Structure 1
Amino acid sequence: MNLSQLGFDPWFAARANDVDGLTLARVCAVDRGSCRVRHASDEIPAELSGKLSFHTERAVDLPCVGDWVAVQCYDHGRAAIIHQVLPRRTFLRRRAAGEGAAEQMIAANVDTAFIIQACHFDFNANRLERYLVMAADGGVKPVVLLTKTDLPGPEELQRKRALVADVTTARVMEVSSVTGAGYEELRAAMEPGKTCCLLGSSGVGKTTIVNRLLGRDAFVTRTVSDSGEGVHTTTRRQLILLDSGAMLIDTPGMRELGVLGTGDGIDAGFGEMAALTSACRYADCTHRHEPGCAVRAAIQRGDLQEERYANYLKLKKEAEYFEMSSLDKRKKDKSFGKLVKSVKKGMKG
C-alpha cells in the first residue's frame, strides 16, 4: 500500500516539514490516549513522544483519528512513537460534554460526513442542523443519510424527506439494512482514496452500515430495543479501509452536540441566512425590529420558517457565548448572579 491510498496527497506533502528520519503514518484509532497508526506497510500501536505529550497546550492539538503524523518505529517495526502531527485540512469537532468550553476533536482530514438520521424515534431536525454546522465549521462536505427507511409508512417517510429539505440543500441518501435498498448508491458515493465519516446518535445504525459495507460482521451489533430504537455499540473512533479503496471513520454516538465559537460555520450551515442577511438595509441588522430587514420579510412571506430562524439565533448565541474568554464568562455569570439576588430581595420586600 502506498500513502496516496491512505489519502496522502500534494496538500499534505507540502506541509510535511522536518520529518527527516521519521515515517509518515495515519492515525486509524484512538482509545483513551492510546493510538494505532497505519503506514505504507503495516498497522501498529503508537504512543506520544514526551515532548508532544507534555508541551502540547490544547488537547485538540493531540493526534485524533484521521490525522497524519510523523512517527519513529521501534521494536523491529512493531510499534511507534508519534513525534509530530501534520496540519489538518478539514476537521470535525464539538464542545466537550459537560460544563466549560473545551473542544473535542472528533476526526480530522475528512472529505465527506454522512450525517445519519434514523427514520424512526431518533429523527430530529434540530440535531441535524447542529451536525450541518459542525461539518461547515470544519470544511467537510455533508451528506444526509436516512436509515431504517423500511420502518415508516410512505407518507411518514415523505414527511421526513420534506423536513430534511427544509433544513438543507445537501445531498440526501436513503438506506435500509433490512431490505438492502440504497447500499449500492452509498458505496458509489465513497470514492477510493477519500475519507468519509459516519455521524449520528447512538443506535441509528452506524455499526450495521459498516458491517454491510465490509460484507461481513466485523463489528458487534446488538438487537434493537422493544421501542424500535437501536442500541449503542461503537466505543471508539476508528478508520476502516473498505475493499473499494475508500476510508470510513466510525464514531460513537453523541448524546450532546454543543457548538463552539463557530460563527462562520453557523452561517455556512444555514446557507439561506447568509443570502437574506446580505439583503438587509442595515449591515448590523439584528433581524428583530429594524426596518428593511430581509430576514423578517422572508418569514412573513413564508419563505423562511420561524422555527428555523429561532434555531439559527439560538446557535449564534451559543457560539458567541463560547467565544468569550473564561474571564468574560465569569464576569457575566457573576453579574447574572447579582441580578438574581437583587430580584429575589425585591420580591421579599
Structure 2
Amino acid sequence: MALEDLGYSKTLEDYRQQHNLGAFEVGRVAQEHKDRYVVVTDAKTLDGELIGNLRYTATSRNDLPVVGDWVAISEYDEGKGLIHAVLPRFSVLERQAIGKYGEAQLIASNVDYGLIIQSVNRDFNINRLERYLTLCYASKIKPIIVVTKTDLTDVQKVNVLLDEINNRIKNVSIVAVSNKTQMGMDDLKKLIYKGKTYCLLGSSGVGKSSLINSLSGAYLMKTGSISERIDRGKHVTTHRELISLINGAILIDNPGMREVGITDASGGLESTFEKIYELTQHCKFSDCTHTTEQGCAVISAIEKGEIEESFFENYLKMEREKEHFESTVAEKRKKDKDFGKMIKQYKKSKNSNRN
C-alpha cells in the first residue's frame, strides 16, 4: 500500500527531509500496546519500539506516539523496528484523563473526521453528543453524527430523535443507519473519502465494530450480541486500531468511552454552543453570569423558548470543566516552575560551597 493511501502528505515528506530523517522508513502507527507499536509502512508491517533518546527526552505522554501518528522507523530485525521520531501532527484528539485532573489523554492523531456514534436505544444522549462535538471542534476535526441500530425501533421514533438532534445541533451531517438491514449505509459511505482518516467515537455497545464491517464490506471486527436485560451491545474493542477500507479511507477504531471529560477545549465550546456565545454579546452587562441578571440575553432566550434550558445547562457544566482543567494546569505549571527554581538554587548553593 502506498504511503499516500494511508494519508501521507508532501508537508510530512518535506519535514522528513529538512530534519535529516530521509535515511529512515516512514510508517503510520496502527496500534499501540503500552510501549510497543504496530507500524504500517508502504511495504510491510513492523513491531516497533522507541529508541532510548526518544523515550527519555519526552517531557510528557504527548511526545510519544499514538495511533494515527507518522513516525520515522528503521528495521533492525525481521518484522521489528526502532522508532526514531514522531512527525508533526495536524490534529490531536484528546479528552480529560480519567482520575487525573489537569492531564489530557490523547485518543488519536492526524484525524480528519470524527464519526460520533450513538444508538437509538438506551445509549442516546444529546448532552453526550455535544461533548463529542466539543472534542472534535477543539481538535479542528469535522464531526459526523451517526445514529445506529435503527432496526431496533420504528421509523417514527427515529425521526423524533433526528428532530431532537437537529433542534440542538446545527451544520453537522447526520446519518441514521442499521448495520443489520444496511439502511442508510449508502448515505454514510458518500461521506467516507479516500485518503481521509476517520475516528470512531462513542460508548461501548453502540455498534462501532458492526459499522466497520459494514463500511469495509468484510468481517474485520468481532461484534458483540445485544444483552436483552440492559438493551445494550456488549463491549468488544479493547484497543485503538487503524483500519484501511476498500475505498482508500482510514478508520481508527476506538474503545467505548465511559467518560468524555473536557480539556481546555479552545474553540470547541464556542463552536458547539455558538448560539449562546452570540447571545452573550447582547447582554446588558459585560460581566453577566447569565443566571439572575436583568437584561441578560441568554435568560431572555430561554424564557422565550428560543434555546432549551437543558442546552444552556450542558454549556454551563462543560464551561466549568474547562475552567477547572485550565486552573489545574496553571497550578501544576507554577509548582513545576517553583520546583525548577529550587533545584537551580540548590545547585548554585552547592557550587558556592565548593568554591
Q: Same fold (TM over 0.5)?
A: yes
2:102 counterpart letter in structure 1: A
User: 1:10: how far off?
Assistant: 3.1
List aligned pairs for 1:246-265, cutoff 5 A.
246-265=249-268
On the 8 A contact 1:136/1:265 being kept in 2, the answer is yes
Bigger Cα displacement from structure 2, 290-299 vs 207-216: 290-299
Instruction: Report what 2:343 is aligned to.
Output: none
CA distance in structure 1 between the aligned counterparts of 2:294 and 2:300, rounded to whole angstroms: 10
List aligned pairs for 1:100-249, cutoff 5 A.
100-169=101-170, 170-227=172-229, 228-249=231-252
The question of 1:268 aligning with 2:271 is answered yes
| CA shift in 2, pair 1:168/1:327, >3 Å | closer
| CA shift in 2, pair 1:294/1:68, >3 Å | same
Secondary structure, counterpart of 2:227 in structure 1: coil
User: 1:302: how far off?
Assistant: 1.0
- Count of equivalent residues: 329
| Selected match of 1:319 from 314, 318, 322 | 322
Runs of 4+ in 1 over 4 A off after TM superposition: 326-329
1:9 counterpart letter in structure 2: S
On the 8 A contact 1:173/1:186 being kept in 2, the answer is yes
Instruction: Report what 2:12 is aligned to.
Output: 12
Instruction: Report what 2:51 is aligned to.
Output: 49
User: 1:197: how far off?
Assistant: 1.1
User: 1:7: how far off?
Assistant: 0.8
The question of 1:305 aligning with 2:308 is answered yes
Secondary structure, counterpart of 1:202 in structure 2: coil
1:162 counterpart letter in structure 2: D
Bigger Cα displacement from structure 2, 298-307 vs 248-257: 298-307
Secondary structure, counterpart of 1:26 in structure 2: strand
CA distance in structure 2 between the aligned counterparts of 1:155 and 1:4, rounded to whole angstroms: 43
The question of 1:29 aligning with 2:31 is answered yes
Secondary structure, counterpart of 2:151 in structure 1: coil
CA distance in structure 2 between the aligned counterparts of 1:12 and 1:118, rounded to whole angstroms: 37
2:108 counterpart letter in structure 1: A
CA distance in structure 2 between the aligned counterparts of 1:327 and 1:320, rounded to whole angstroms: 10
| CA shift in 2, pair 1:80/1:129, >3 Å | same
CA distance in structure 2 between the aligned counterparts of 1:282 and 1:262, rounded to whole angstroms: 25
CA RMSD of aligned residues (A): 1.9
1:309 counterpart letter in structure 2: F
Instruction: Report what 1:2 is aligned to.
Output: 2
User: 1:291: how far off?
Assistant: 4.3
User: 1:14: how far off?
Assistant: 4.3
| CA shift in 2, pair 1:269/1:13, >3 Å | farther
CA distance in structure 2 between the aligned counterparts of 1:232 and 1:224, rounded to whole angstroms: 10
On the 8 A contact 2:58/2:64 being kept in 1, the answer is yes
Instruction: Report what 1:88 is aligned to.
Output: 89
On the 8 A contact 1:263/1:320 being kept in 2, the answer is no
Secondary structure, counterpart of 1:319 in structure 2: helix
CA distance in structure 2 between the aligned counterparts of 1:73 and 1:282, rounded to whole angstroms: 63
CA distance in structure 1 between the aligned counterparts of 2:266 and 2:317, rounded to whole angstroms: 12
Secondary structure, counterpart of 2:315 in structure 1: helix
Structure 2 regions of 5+ residues with no counterpart? 333-355
On the 8 A contact 2:28/2:70 being kept in 1, the answer is yes
Bigger Cα displacement from structure 2, 241-250 vs 48-57: 48-57
Once the two structures are superposed, what CA deviation does each residue of 1:91-113 show, in whole Å capped at 9, x if it has no partner?
Answer: 21111112423211111111111
How many percent identity over aligned positions?
39
User: 1:326: how far off?
Assistant: 5.8
List aligned pairs for 1:45-84, cutoff 5 A.
45-76=47-78, 78-84=79-85
User: 1:189: how far off?
Assistant: 1.1
In the superposition, the TM-score normalised over structure 2's length comes to 0.87
CA distance in structure 1 between the aligned counterparts of 2:329 and 2:272, rounded to whole angstroms: 26
Bigger Cα displacement from structure 2, 276-285 vs 252-261: 276-285
On the 8 A contact 1:263/1:319 being kept in 2, the answer is no
